[in-house]
Structure 1
Amino acid sequence: MTQALFYLMPPTGENTALSDLYQLACRLSQRAFIDQQQVYIHCQDKNVAFEIDELLWQFDPSAFVPHNLKGEGPTTGSPVEIGFDRLGPNKSRQLLINLADQVPPFAVNFGQIFDFVANDDQHKVIARERYRQYRGLGIELTTQNLATHPLNLV
C-alpha cells in the first residue's frame, strides 16, 4: 500500500516559505539517494523543475546527488528524476516527492510519497485538498510537524 507523509513546514518569513520547502525536497532527495532509493520529484511546472534542478547542483557542495530532468541524461535515468508532466517518471521508482499543487495521476505507483504543507494560508488550503485526494485514492496518510519534530538527515 502506498504511504504519504506530509511535512508541515515551520513558520518562516513570507518569501522563504517555498524556498525552504524546495531546500527540504533536495535534502530528502539526497537522503534517498544515499539510501539507494530511486526518486521522482514532481513539480508544478517547468520553471519549478528547472529551479529544483539548479538547487540540486548547488545546495550541498560536499555531496553530489545524481539527477536529471525527465527526458535528459542517461537512457537508464539518474537516481533522481525531475519532471512536471502528467505521465510521471520514465521508469519505476520507489519515492515520489510531490511539489505540485495537485496529486499526480501516477501517485499510486509509488511505495512512498513525500508532500509538504507550506506555512501560509494559501498553500495550506491547497495542501488540504491534496490530502483529501490522497485519502480518496486509498493512500495511507501521516504528518510530521517540522516545528516540533525536526528532521535529522545527516
Structure 2
Amino acid sequence: MQTQVIFNIMPDEADDQHAHWHQACVVAADHYRNNQRVYIYTQNQADAHQIDELLWAFDPDSFVPHNLVGEGPQNGSAVEISWQAPTSRRPILINLTSTVPDFASQFSHIIDFVPADETLKQQARERFKACRQWGFNVDTKTLSVKQSSTG
C-alpha cells in the first residue's frame, strides 16, 4: 500500500509560528472520532509536552484520549504523542517536525503542514520533495481561516 501524504497549507493570516499545532489537534480529534489511531511526532520533548497540553485545552466541548508515549494504557491511547520513533503500529502520522522521519513509510497516511512563516514554509517544501522521492502519493490542501477540520 502506498503511503498517502497531505500537506495542509495554512492561510497567510495564520502567522503564529505554531498555528499549525492547533490544526494538528483538530486533525487528531477528527481521526479519533473516525476510530483511527494517530501518532503525533514532534521535534523534541518540550514540543511533545506542549501538544499534550493543547489537546487537553483546544476544544472544551470534546475530549480526545491521548498520552505521551510510555504513559497511559498499555497499548497507548487513541492519540499518542512523542519526539521518538513509534514502538507500535498506527495508520496515521501527524508530522510536526522539520524533516520527514525515517519511519514514515510504516504509516498509511501522513498529515503535514505548510505554515505561513517563510522559514517553516521552506522546510515544508523540502519535506514535500522528500516524500515524493520516497514514492509517497503526495497532495496539498489549502486551509481557510475558519476551517476547523481536515481529512
Give the TM-score normalised by structure 2: 0.93
Specify the SS of the correspondent of 1:126: helix
Amino acid at match of 2:141: Q
Q: Hey, what's the Cα distance between the residues in 2 that align with 1:65 and 1:152?
A: 14
The answer for the alignment partner of 1:100 in structure 2 is: 97
The answer for the alignment partner of 1:28 in structure 2 is: 27
Are residues 1:145 and 2:134 paired? Answer: no
The answer for the alignment partner of 1:119 in structure 2 is: 116
CA contact (8 A) 2:14 2:116 kept: no
Give the TM-score normalised by structure 1: 0.91
Paired positions, count: 149
Residue ranges of structure 2 left out of the alignment (5+ in a row): none
Residue ranges of structure 1 left out of the alignment (5+ in a row): none
RMSD over aligned CA atoms reads: 1.7
Q: Hey, what's the Cα distance between the residues in 2 that align with 1:138 and 1:149?
A: 33
The answer for the alignment partner of 2:5 in structure 1 is: 4
Q: Hey, what's the Cα distance between the residues in 1 that align with 2:74 and 2:106?
A: 21
The answer for the alignment partner of 1:48 in structure 2 is: 47
1:25–1:132 Cα change, 3 Å: same
Q: Hey, what's the Cα distance between the residues in 1 that align with 2:87 and 2:76?
A: 8
What are the superposed Cα offsets for residues 26-75 of structure 1, whole Å, 9 maximum, x if unpaired?
A: 01000000000010000011111000000001111111100010111111
